[in-house]
Each structure stands twice: as C-alpha cells, then as structure tokens.
C-alpha cells in the first residue's frame, strides 16, 4: 500500500522486503505514538540475524540513536541509525504475540500480534517462528528504573510525521510492523509508513 510517505503498513499488520547494502530505510510514525517492530536478517544467510545482546554490549547503552550500529548475532554490522527525530526506542523486548496478550492482558482469543505478523511476512524468505529474536522496536518507550530494574511501557515520544532512518551495511531482509499491543501505542492502533532511498 502506498501513502504520501511511500509504503504504508496498516494498523496491527506487518510486512517484509529486501533492503540492499547502501540503501536507507526511513520508518515514519504517520499519526504519532505508534510503535514499529523492526527485524533484520542477512540476505545471504537468514540464520544471521539482528542481535540485541551483541548490540547493547558493544554500545554500552540500552537506548540507541543516531550514529549507533545494530549488530548481528555474528557481530557484523547490519544497520546504522543515520537520523532520528524521536530519540527513544526499545531493544529489550520481543515482539508482542498471542502469548503476550494471553499472559499480560489476559485475552482469551488473542490477536497474533507483531510476532505472528512478522512470522507470516518473513515465511516466504525461509524464516520460522523460532528464528524471531528481540526486535528493534522503533518509537517504543520503555523506561527502566536503574535501582530496582523495573521497566514500564510508556506512550511513545513520537509525534505525527517523525521518523528514524537506518543505513544498510549489507544486503538484508527486513521485517517491519505497525505494532499490535495497546499499551505500546498509548491505547490505539495506527499505521506505520516507510520509505527506501538509495
């Protein structure tokens, strides 16, 4: 689906596409306060995948922004954040899923969530559910209490039209969603847009 910003991901859905080395992916929060879960897999071997644990170790920081590098499980650079109008994203939590909604929200007939949306969108590339790691959750606002370790899921700081941009350091398969969890998006489900430029 095309929007004024390029491609649009409808509320509570996801997509997958190729991003070539040297291309830039801009993820746009069209209406504000909407999270987008981002996954990256190596185009040449889908078992090489974006890694929160490696990235946070090398950055020595849990909040990443312009200039930071996102590493794979094999410690190669996949993406570089080259612009960031929001400055607060999460890289601690896995994509919301049926189980998330069952365990945290108590839903009896839960939505498949970002996890199900990513699994469906990435299946044609050979990605299976068990290969889905912690996502880079664009615009997700998860403050951590440094003393107690407690974390909260607060409303995103993103306003309508704000974006974050990623430069690909290698050929990648990208999974991207408009997040399906009420709490992450301040209580309503909105679309996400994205643009790819060379």
What residue ranges bind a second copy (CB under 8 A)?
47-49, 51-54, 56-58, 60-63, 73-75, 92-94, 97, 99-100, 103-104, 130, 132-134, 143-152
By beta-carbon proximity to a second copy, the closer residue of 96 and 193 is 96
21 or 152: CB nearest a second copy = 152
- The neighbour count for residue 154, using CB atoms within 10 Å, is 14
**What is the smallest separation between the CB atom of 150 and a second copy, expressed in angstroms?**
5
The nearer residue to a second copy, 8 or 37, going by C-beta atoms, is 37
56 and 63 Cβ atoms separated by less than 8 Å: no
Torsion of CA 181, 161, 70, 125, to 10 degrees: 60
Question: Smallest gap, in angstroms, from Cβ of residue 182 to a second copy?
Answer: 14
Beta-sheet strand order (sheet of 172-177) = 14-19, 172-177, 36-42, 136-138
Gyration radius of the chain's alpha carbons: 15
Is residue 174 within 8 Å of residue 16, measured between CB atoms? yes
**Least distance (Å) from a second copy to the CB of residue 24?**
24
Closest separation in Å from C-beta 121 to a second copy: 18
Nearer to a second copy, 28 or 41 (CB): 41
């Amino acid at each position: 689906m095309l929007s004024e910003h390029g491609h649009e991901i409808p509320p509570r859905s996801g997509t997958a596409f190729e991003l070539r080395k040297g291309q830039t992916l801009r993820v746009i929060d069209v209406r504000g306060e909407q999270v987008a879960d981002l996954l990256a897999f190596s185009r040449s071997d889908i078992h090489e995948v974006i890694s929160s644990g490696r990235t946070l170790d090398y950055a020595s920081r849990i909040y990443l922004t312009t200039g930071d590098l996102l590493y794979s499980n094999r410690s190669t650079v996949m993406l570089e954040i080259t612009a960031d109008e929001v400055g607060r994203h999460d890289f601690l939590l896995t994509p919301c899923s049926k189980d998330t909604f069952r365990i945290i929200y108590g839903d009896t007939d839960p939505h498949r969530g970002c996890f199900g949306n990513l699994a469906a969108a990435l299946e044609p590339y050979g990605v299976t559910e068990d290969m889905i790691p912690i996502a880079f959750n664009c615009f997700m606002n998860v403050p951590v209490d440094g003393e107690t370790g407690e974390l909260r899921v607060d409303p995103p700081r993103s306003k309508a039209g704000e974006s974050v941009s990623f430069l690909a350091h290698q050929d990648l398969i990208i999974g991207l969603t408009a997040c399906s969890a009420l709490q992450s998006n301040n209580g309503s489900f909105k679309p996400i847009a994205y643009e790819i430029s060379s």
